[in-house]
Chain A
Amino acid sequence: MFKLPFPPIAHYLMDHSQKNLPADIVPPYPGYTFEHLHLLGIADLSPHDIKYLLDRADAAISVSRQIEKKKVTLRGRTQINLFFEASTRTQSSFELAGKRLGADVMNMSVGSSSVKKGETLIDTAMTLNAMQPDLLVVRHHSAGAAELLAQKVGCSVINAGDGAHEHPTQALLDALTIRRHLGSVERQTVAICGDILHSRVARSNIILLNALGARVRVIAPSTLLPSGIERFGVEVFNRMEDGLPGCDVVMMLRLQRERMEGALIPSVREYFHYFGLDARKLKLANPGALVMHPGPMNRGVEISSEVADGTQSVIQEQVEMGVALRMAVIETLIETSDRLSQKRSKESKT
């Protein structure tokens, strides 16, 4: 009898009542294994992979909510956080995730100092590689940097943001947050608002939300939209008033003022007036629409404090989901890498 490797897609994307999910149990998909050694971008993942990671993250949430928050699955493993760009949130989220799994976590904030000394990205990576880490978490200001590293080092690499390319764990944790609140990602209308041009979060989210069957809108001034964005499977709006009605989720992006080369927007005042999310604009979206922000927020620039701290905001929860999701990703990648190295050693014996 012919058997499908996966359950039919409709079943697979079906709503999923997380509250009844027993902790620590990963829903089985017959015949499925996660095959990626690295997490470099959402674009590399299939909907199955995404779903699998979200399910595992769901199970990991309970760990963070226990009094005893530590697992031992990664005891003896070394995780290095290599951050070429300053980041408090993402770095501590990864650090906590690794530690809660029992790994030894080392933080390397390279900043610009080493670069000024003439050391290249590859040199830094090779130095770290010689320390035999099991996992490298990388953030870099250039698109493709994580990919380049993954080619050169012998361990799993997680992209924690590369230039304006991707930030996969952020998109995954956003999806996890949406799923827990609205039951599913499928068919939700999600508006991503603000600086799409410089945003890796937007790119990862657009790909992921589309993969899970959401309707995605982007709302931004035309100067902050990258070329060809309309071919990403999104509806494009230039006014919040046009784009927000009917939205179930409003995802605000940080205005990356440090990346504004030249005249992209005339002033913060005008930007907030037209694109900042305040209570009046939020009322245009569906009642109870979720307000999300990847942080750190510029209050009064892209979002008003009233909305950021309001009842519809799930911004704090995103942070919590971040730790759980990253635990799931780290665990999954280490498992893949163990499986592959076992396979390799078996092959070399035969």
Chain B
Amino acid sequence: MSEAPLLITRAHLVDPSQNYDGPASILIEDGKISAVEKSASKMNVPADMKVIDASGLHVFPGLVDMRVHIGEPGSEYRETIASASAAAAAGGVTSFVMMPDTDPVIDEVSLVDYVRRAARDNADVRLYPSAAVTKGFAGNELTEFGLLKEAGAVMLSEAKHSIRNTLTLRRALTYARDFDMLISKETSDPYLSANGVMNEGLNATHLGLSGIPKEAEIIALERDLRIAALTRGKYHAAKISTADSAEAIARYKDKGAKVSAGISINNLSLNENDIGRYRTFFRLSPPLRSEEDREAMIAALNDGTIDIIVSSHDPQDVDTKRHPFAEAADGAIGLETLLAAALRLHHNDQVSLSRLVEALSTRPAELLGLNAGSLKPGYLADLCLVDINRPWVCSEETIRSLSKNTPFEGARFSGKVLQTLVGGRSIFTDNA
């Protein structure tokens, strides 16, 4: 089915891939961008087209979220591919990478295939599977990187698990190089962070909770970076949270290692004080750090040390969250609030709009080599129309995820996605 051509006029386009931030009209034909001009009058427009007047609205390339946990297969009560897709669409996310920590673990070609078929049938946004680095996350045998890539896995990851054996990590990075596969890894020393449930320090001591020292992150990260430099493999530190980590990433980037870094939107928006009195929705991994660390992370995002921002969407239901803090599960949902929370940084004059769009869309697409993150002619017409000043309040009733564990419950945002397009087709319209 081919859609009628679509013209978006009088928009304010922010597209870091074209280094552009200004007025634009965008013509979409056959699900692709066919022309982008300052004004529609310069275009040869087809006669039978539909027109969206985007006066006062911003247009961003659709967000690309490199870290989304879903419960399908295995825990469909937490989140299905369909519900995650709906949440993503409402948040302006048009592509995301699904983490392999389902049940069963995505470590085989047939499972990648299953995810792709389920996504084709149930998801409106583009869902890209990632695959485990080692079979069953056991940290011993490598999965079939080449075949997994051919089946459609775009990235390798051990999800929340670490690779304890450094030799295994070395072999994985070396072997992945042959297939040009990116390995994305969480960085936490499993011994130093054992039993820890929040940032170590005065707050943890006050609450009587065991802490995770910042050193747990940098020790694991330094090890990984050294192995990445040694093997020349493509390494991505999935979620960093401390100034030391940013410094290490910058150092290895200077040396020319193929390393990149991501950060969870939560570590950019919140700090350990938000935990208040044992609010388990703020129990996250990496833990929320101090305000100084949050500010250091914003600086690292601005100077390009941190490449991308992820939602780290991790649906948990009451069974895993309604416990005393130390017994609750890590994680928060974030697909629907990713852009709104990021726009806070823009409204606070901390990060420019184009840098945010770059980190949320252009750069992750580049890292994975996806046809996304850009609205140059020829690219897929995945985009979102955003009123960056529209106020709204995040509330449990309107959340589309099956799980409601958002740390932004009741939060006031400025900036709402009004429409989301995937392949030129509207998949979400804000009716409010």
Is B322 within 8 A of A147, CB to CB?
Answer: no
Interface centre among A43, A144, A164 (most CB of B within 10 A): A144
Is B322 within 8 A of A120, CB to CB?
Answer: yes
Instruction: Name the residue on B nearest A148 (C-beta).
Output: B324
**Nearest-CB distance from A152 to chain B (Å)?**
9
Asked if A261 is at the interface (CB within 8 A of a chain B CB), the reply is: yes
CB < 8 Å: which of A43, A164, A232 contacts B209? Answer: A164
Instruction: Name the residue on A nearest B191 (C-beta).
Output: A262
Is B195 within 8 A of A163, CB to CB?
Answer: no
Asked if A314 is at the interface (CB within 8 A of a chain B CB), the reply is: no
Chain B residues closer than 8 Å to A227, beta-carbon distance: 200-202, 204-205, 211, 213
Complex Cα–Cα for A147 and B278 (A): 8
**Nearest-CB distance from A231 to chain B (Å)?**
5
Interface centre among A43, A122, A147, A226 (most CB of B within 10 A): A226
Instruction: Name the residue on A nearest B210 (C-beta).
Output: A164
Chain B residues closer than 8 Å to A166, beta-carbon distance: 208
Q: Mark B243-286, 1 if CB is under 8 A from A, else 0.
A: 00000000000000000000000000000000001100000000
Asked if A100 is at the interface (CB within 8 A of a chain B CB), the reply is: no
Asked if A145 is at the interface (CB within 8 A of a chain B CB), the reply is: yes
CB < 8 Å: which of B201, B210, B319 contacts A228? Answer: B201
Is A142 within 8 A of B204, CB to CB?
Answer: no
Q: Mark B202-241, 1 if CB is under 8 A from A, else 0.
A: 1111111111010000000000000000000000000000
CB < 8 Å: which of B195, B200, B203 contacts A261? Answer: B195
CB < 8 Å: which of A43, A229, A261 contacts B205? Answer: A229
Chain A residues closer than 8 Å to B319, beta-carbon distance: 120
Chain A binding site: helix, strand, loop or mixed by DSSP? mixed
Asked if B51 is at the interface (CB within 8 A of a chain A CB), the reply is: no
Is B326 within 8 A of A143, CB to CB?
Answer: yes
Instruction: Name the residue on A nearest B326 (C-beta).
Output: A142
**Nearest-CB distance from B320 to chain A (Å)?**
10
Instruction: Name the residue on B nearest A261 (C-beta).
Output: B195
Asked if A254 is at the interface (CB within 8 A of a chain B CB), the reply is: no
Asked if B194 is at the interface (CB within 8 A of a chain A CB), the reply is: yes
Is A142 within 8 A of B322, CB to CB?
Answer: no
Indicate whether A162 sits within 8 Å of B205 (C-beta atoms), given known contacts A120-B322, A122-B322: no
Is A226 within 8 A of B207, CB to CB?
Answer: no
Chain B residues closer than 8 Å to A203, beta-carbon distance: 205-206, 208
Complex Cα–Cα for A166 and B324 (A): 14
Instruction: Name the residue on A nearest B203 (C-beta).
Output: A228
Is A142 within 8 A of B324, CB to CB?
Answer: yes
Instruction: Name the residue on B nearest A229 (C-beta).
Output: B205
Chain B residues closer than 8 Å to A147, beta-carbon distance: 277-278
Chain B residues closer than 8 Å to A165, beta-carbon distance: 207-209
Complex Cα–Cα for A142 and B324 (A): 6
**Nearest-CB distance from A204 to chain B (Å)?**
10
Interface centre among A122, A148, A229 (most CB of B within 10 A): A148
Interface centre among A43, A227, A229 (most CB of B within 10 A): A227
Instruction: Place the interface of chain B in its size category.
Output: 20 to 34
Asked if A215 is at the interface (CB within 8 A of a chain B CB), the reply is: no
Q: Mark A91-121, 1 if CB is under 8 A from B, else 0.
A: 0000000000000000000000000000011
Asked if B325 is at the interface (CB within 8 A of a chain A CB), the reply is: yes
**Nearest-CB distance from A100 to chain B (Å)?**
30
Is B325 within 8 A of A144, CB to CB?
Answer: yes
Is B208 within 8 A of A200, CB to CB?
Answer: yes
Asked if A140 is at the interface (CB within 8 A of a chain B CB), the reply is: yes
CB < 8 Å: which of A43, A163, A226, A261 contacts B324? Answer: A163
Q: Mark B327-356, 1 if CB is under 8 A from A, else 0.
A: 100000000000000000000000000000
Complex Cα–Cα for A144 and B323 (A): 9
**Nearest-CB distance from B195 to chain A (Å)?**
6
Q: Mark A133-151, 1 if CB is under 8 A from B, else 0.
A: 0000000101111011000
Is B277 within 8 A of A144, CB to CB?
Answer: yes
Q: In the complex, which residues 286-330 of chain B have their Cβ closer than 8 Å to any Cβ of chain A? A: 319, 322-327
Chain B residues closer than 8 Å to A120, beta-carbon distance: 319, 322-323
CB < 8 Å: which of A43, A163, A226, A231 contacts B326? Answer: A163
Instruction: Name the residue on B nearest A123 (C-beta).
Output: B322
Complex Cα–Cα for A226 and B206 (A): 10
Is B325 within 8 A of A142, CB to CB?
Answer: yes
Complex Cα–Cα for A43 and B326 (A): 20
Q: In the complex, which residues 159-178 of chain A have their Cβ closer than 8 Å to any Cβ of chain B? A: 162-166
Is B278 within 8 A of A144, CB to CB?
Answer: yes
Is A143 within 8 A of B325, CB to CB?
Answer: yes
CB < 8 Å: which of B202, B203, B327 contacts A142? Answer: B327
Chain A residues closer than 8 Å to B203, beta-carbon distance: 228
Chain B residues closer than 8 Å to A162, beta-carbon distance: 208, 324
Complex Cα–Cα for A232 and B205 (A): 9
Instruction: Name the residue on A nearest B325 (C-beta).
Output: A144
Chain A residues closer than 8 Å to B210, beta-carbon distance: 164
Is A231 within 8 A of B209, CB to CB?
Answer: no
Complex Cα–Cα for A121 and B327 (A): 10
Chain A residues closer than 8 Å to B326, beta-carbon distance: 142-144, 163
Q: Mark B119-154, 1 if CB is under 8 A from A, else 0.
A: 000000000000000000000000000000000000
A-B contact pairs, 21 of them (CB 8 A): A121-B323, A122-B323, A142-B324, A142-B326, A143-B207, A143-B325, A144-B208, A144-B278, A144-B325, A148-B278, A162-B208, A163-B209, A164-B210, A226-B204, A226-B205, A226-B211, A227-B201, A227-B205, A228-B202, A228-B204, A232-B205
Apart from A144-B324, A164-B208, A227-B202, 6 more pairs, CB < 8 Å: A144-B326, A145-B324, A147-B277, A203-B205, A227-B205, A228-B205
Shortest beta-carbon contacts, A-B, top 5: A165-B208, A142-B324, A144-B278, A228-B202, A143-B208
